[in-house]
Amino acid sequence: MDYKSLFSQESHLEIDTGLVVPLIKVNKILFGTTELFPVIGKLTLINADIITEKEKIYYLKLNKFHEYINLIRNQQERIPFFPYNYYSLFEPNNVDYKALFEPIKEYLNYLDKIDNHHSETIKYIINPKNILNCELISSFDTTYCIRFEKKGKPLFITLNIENLDSAYGLSYSPDRDDKQYERLFEQHKKVLLMESPERFLITNLERVIGDETFATNIVKSYLCKNEFNTPLIGICNLILWKNKEAMYHSIEQFFVNYSNLVNKEIEEIYTNLESVNINFEGFNKFILSIELNDLQQWEVKDQINELYYKITHELIRSFEILYLDK
């Protein structure tokens, strides 16, 4: 695996140095902290030409990523904070944190065994793409409190060597009680259900389509069906068109047949497509009206149909869960 790809979305190109990524982003993923220099000192990294500074922000040079990892490996001291991803990716056999990390792995396995709507969403929040989405927010003696960010209220886990009767607590004692995973799951599920219906729907839809912005647009469009909340360009960007002309052909056909579902005149798609929005019915009709001849290959049409099914299925299932919970 090319571990540099973990940071590709956060990177940008600097003419003099190549691709760079904010050092704080790297440390958040690897060590669960937003500290700039949690393991290796600033001067060491500067002298090794591994980082660069611009407008008071320190960046890691992606072509020096493995040199950064090698410096960390050569450290004799225990790595601080919560380096779950670092050890999982680069030193899986290291025993420094093994006991502490085991309950996290067991909880993820528990979520897999539950295998329902809530467990899938919770696991996606905690461990998207098999990378723990955590930040250590406090630690004292044998207690570690970690936060899993998401839109809306975050999820928490508190790790302690003791068997604590805590809603968010997991014990890493050798004789820990397996019932703690059920208790934590019920608490995390409660957090999701206690949020607004809109946020609950967005979180669930993001899990199945993998794009938070698109999920937000679809949910807002669904909740306000007569309002033009869905950018047409957002849908177009998800589709593998044969070429640009094919994309505009598909849009033109949609405009001709469903002009009442669009907030702009057809002429504006050529001058400012980013301003063209459709309502929820327009989203459905546009997806279903795309012709096979406008796509790169016939498999793309099947992918579009699968995406459409996932979206509609998830919206219906989420509303069913909200209704049953009420």
Residue type, 112: D
For residues 67 and 36, state if they share a domain. yes
Q: Does residue 29 sit within a domain?
A: yes
pLDDT for res 4: 62
For residues 11 and 30, state if they share a domain. yes
Q: Does residue 286 sit within a domain?
A: yes
Q: Residue 143: pLDDT above 70?
A: yes
Number of domain units in the chain? 3
For residues 214 and 317, state if they share a domain. yes
For residues 237 and 249, state if they share a domain. yes
For residues 148 and 73, state if they share a domain. no
DSSP state of 155: E
Q: Residue 1: pLDDT above 70?
A: no
Q: Does residue 259 sit within a domain?
A: yes
Q: Does residue 33 sit within a domain?
A: yes
For residues 300 and 289, state if they share a domain. yes
Contacts of 45 (CB under 8 A, 6+ apart): 37, 51, 68, 71
Provide the mean pLDDT of the chain: 88
Last residue of a domain, one of 167, 194, 221: 194
Q: Answer yes or no: are the C-beta atoms of 182 and 190 closer than 8 Å.
A: no
* Distance of alpha carbon 275 from alpha carbon 278, whole angstroms: 10
Last residue of a domain, one of 146, 178, 194: 194
Q: Does residue 231 sit within a domain?
A: yes
For residues 108 and 158, state if they share a domain. yes
What does the pLDDT look like over 239-297, one tens digit per residue?
899 999 999 999 999 998 998 999 988 888 888 888 889 999 999 899 888 988 899 88
pLDDT for res 55: 87
Q: Does residue 269 sit within a domain?
A: yes
Residue with more model confidence, 33 or 211: 33
For residues 218 and 266, state if they share a domain. yes
Mean pLDDT along residues 129-136: 92
For residues 184 and 230, state if they share a domain. no
Residue type, 193: L
Domain that holds residue 37: 3-80
Q: Residue 96: pLDDT above 80?
A: yes
Last residue of a domain, one of 32, 50, 80: 80
For residues 217 and 315, state if they share a domain. yes
For residues 212 and 190, state if they share a domain. no
Q: Does residue 255 sit within a domain?
A: yes
* Distance of alpha carbon 21 from alpha carbon 106, whole angstroms: 32
Residue with more model confidence, 94 or 163: 94
Q: Does residue 92 sit within a domain?
A: no
Residue 85 φ then ψ, to 5°: -70, -35
Residue 205: name the closest of 307, 104, 103 by CA: 307
For residues 235 and 305, state if they share a domain. yes
pLDDT for res 83: 95
